[in-house]
Amino acid sequence: MLNRRHFLSLSSLLLLPVSRVVEALVPNHQLLNITLKSEKKKWFSNYSPIILWGSDVEKIILKQHENVQIEVKNELSDATSLHWHGMRVKNNMDGVSGLTQAPIAIGSSFTYNITAQDAGTFWAHSHHNTYQQLAMGLYFPLIVKEEEEYKVDQDLLLVIDDWRINEHRQLDLESLGDFSEWAHGGRKGNIITVNREIEQSYLCKVGQRIRLRLLNAANSRIMTLQLPVLPTWILAKDGQPLTVPIKLDKAITIGPAERYDLIIDVTSSAGNYPIYEVSTTQNIQVATLNVISGKDIVPSSSSPSALPENPLAKLDFDQISHSTKLLMEGGAMGSLRQAKYQGEVLSVNELVKNKKIWSFNGTAGIDDKPLLSAKSGEMIEIEIINNTRWPHVMHMHGHHFKADSEHYPKGIWHDTLLLLAKEEATIVFRAGDVGKWLLHCHMIEHQASGMVTWIEVT
C-alpha cells in the first residue's frame, strides 16, 4: 500500500518532462551533441522552479570499446570544461581547464573524442570554476555497458547530491566561496536529491536481483548510506569490477565523486524500503525501494558472479620506478605556517588573502612542476600523508590505482580514495597515456584552496 508521501513522489514522477538519455549504440565515431544550459526543477510547491545548471541529457550510455565524438555546446553564462571522471581518455580530452584545454567560452563548442575503454559507472562534470559549477549542478552520469550483458532484473542508477537552498527556495549562490567552509570540511547542502529529484521512489518486485549504481555528486559531503536489510554485495568501485563481489552488511560510505555498483536481492516481502543518508545525526531519507509482490518465488540469493575484468594494465609491485610522498597540510586547526604559492613562499595570512589554506608538499595550488615525472608504463607509488584534522578524497585523473587503505575491500581499484583525518595510504599505479594528469582533493573547496598537483607522463 502506498502512503500519501510515496503517492506524491510517484505522481510527481509521472509529470516530469521526458529528458534525453543519449544512447550511443552504433560503434565507431558516432557524434553526440550536448548543450550545457540552465534547467528548471519544480522541487518546491508554492515557489518558483529552482534554477540549476545542467545539460539537455539526463545521462550518456555507451558500449564498451565504443568511440564517440561528443560536441559540447556552452550555453551557460560562464566559460566551462567537462572532465570525464574515471574514463581513461587521451590527455587532451581530460577536460581540465588551464591544464589540458582552454575553457570552452560562452556560446562556443568543444568536441571531446572519447573511447570507452572500461565498462562501468562514470560521470562527466565541470572542471572549470568547479566549486561553483559543480554546486550548481553541472554534471551528468555516464554508463559504459559491458560488451556482454550482465543479467539483472533491474539496473538502477542513483546519483546523489546535496544542494544549498536559500529562503526563496533557489540555489544559495551568495555563500559560494565561503572561505571558512573551505578551511573546514567544504560546502554542505541542506537538501539531498537523487537523480536531481526529491524523494525518489523505485518500483521493485519481490524476487528481483537489482544492480544499484551509486554516485556521490556532492561538492564535499561524504555520504554514508544505510541501505535496506537485504542481501547486498559490492560488485564494482569507481567503474572497476571487484574480482569477487563482497558481501555488504553495513552502511556504505561514499566520498564525493566515488561510485559503487551493488547487487541487491529483493528477498523480503512487499513494502517500502527506505535508503537513508546517516553521516550526520539527522537520518535523511534519500530514496525508497517500493517493493511489490512479484515472482512469488524468492531467489536463493546466491553470490552474484563478478563482472568481466576491464583491460587495465596489470600492476607489478616489485618493479616500482617512482616512489614519492605527498604530505597534506593546512586547514582549520592545522599546523600550516607558510607555503609556496605561485613560486613565492607566503605566510598563512598572505595565503588566506589568496584564498589558499591547504598545501601538498609545502605548495598551495597548482605548481609549474609536477609531483613526479614518469614514462608511460612505469610503476608509481605515492605515499599520501594526511597531516590535517579533516578527511580528504583524492582523485587521480586518467588512472586507476590500488591502495593499502583499511576502509575498503583489499586489492580493489580506485580513481578516488577517501582518507580520514591523520590517515596515511599508499597508492600504486602504472603510468598511462602521455600528458599532464591532475591529482587533487575532490572535496572541491579543498582543491580550490590549495589541494591540487599533477603528474607528468612522458
**Contacting positions for Cu ion (CB under 5 A):** 392, 441, 443, 446
CB of 451 to Cu ion, least distance (A): 5
CA dist 192 and 219 (Å) reads 12
CA pair distance 158, 143, nearest whole angstrom: 12
Nearer to Cu ion by C-beta: 237 or 446? 446
Nearest approach, Cβ of residue 182 and Cu ion (Å): 10
Residue count of the chain, please give it: 458
CB of 444 to Cu ion, least distance (A): 9
Closest approach, Cβ 442 to Cu ion, in A, equals 7
CA angle 243, 245, 247 (to 5 degrees): 145
- Grid cell of 455 as nine digits: 603528474
CA 242 – CA 120 distance, rounded (Å): 11
Identify the residue whose cell numbers are 565561503.
178
> Least distance in Å: CB of 221 to Cu ion?
12
Residues 6 or more apart whose CB falls under 8 angstroms from that of 25 comprise: 63, 66
Q: How far is the CB of 401 from Cu ion (least distance, A)?
A: 17
96 or 212, CB closer to Cu ion?
96
Cell of 402: 590500488
Q: Which is nearer to Cu ion, 140 or 390 (CB)?
A: 390
Q: Which three cell numbers stand for residue 426?
A: 599508499
Which is closer to Cu ion, CB of 120 or CB of 331?
A: 331
Taking the complex as a whole, the smallest distance from the CB of residue 141 to Cu ion amounts, in Å, to: 23
Q: What b-and-e string marks burial along 142-156, b requiring 16 or more CB atoms within 10 Å of the CB? A: bbbbeeeebebbeeb
* Nearest distance in Å: CB 330, Cu ion: 10
Alpha-carbon distance of 452 to 8, in angstroms, equals: 44
| Strand runs labelled E in 46-153 | 50-55, 59-63, 67-74, 82-85, 109-115, 120-126, 139-145
Shorter beta-carbon distance to Cu ion: residue 32 or 135: 135
Q: CB-wise, 202 or 454, nearer to Cu ion?
A: 454
Write down the least CB distance from residue 448 to Cu ion, Å: 10
- Report the residue number, 146 or 383, with the smaller CB distance to Cu ion: 383
Rounded Cα distance, 361 and 383, in Å: 12
Nearer to Cu ion, 88 or 446 (CB): 446
Judged by CB, which is closer to Cu ion: 129, or 416?
A: 416
Please give the order of strands across the beta sheet that includes 372-374.
Answer: 372-374, 452-457, 435-441, 392-396, 416-419
End-to-end Cα, the chain, rounded Å: 61
In the sheet with 200-205, reading across from the earlier edge strand, the strands are: 200-205, 284-292, 271-277, 223-226, 252-254
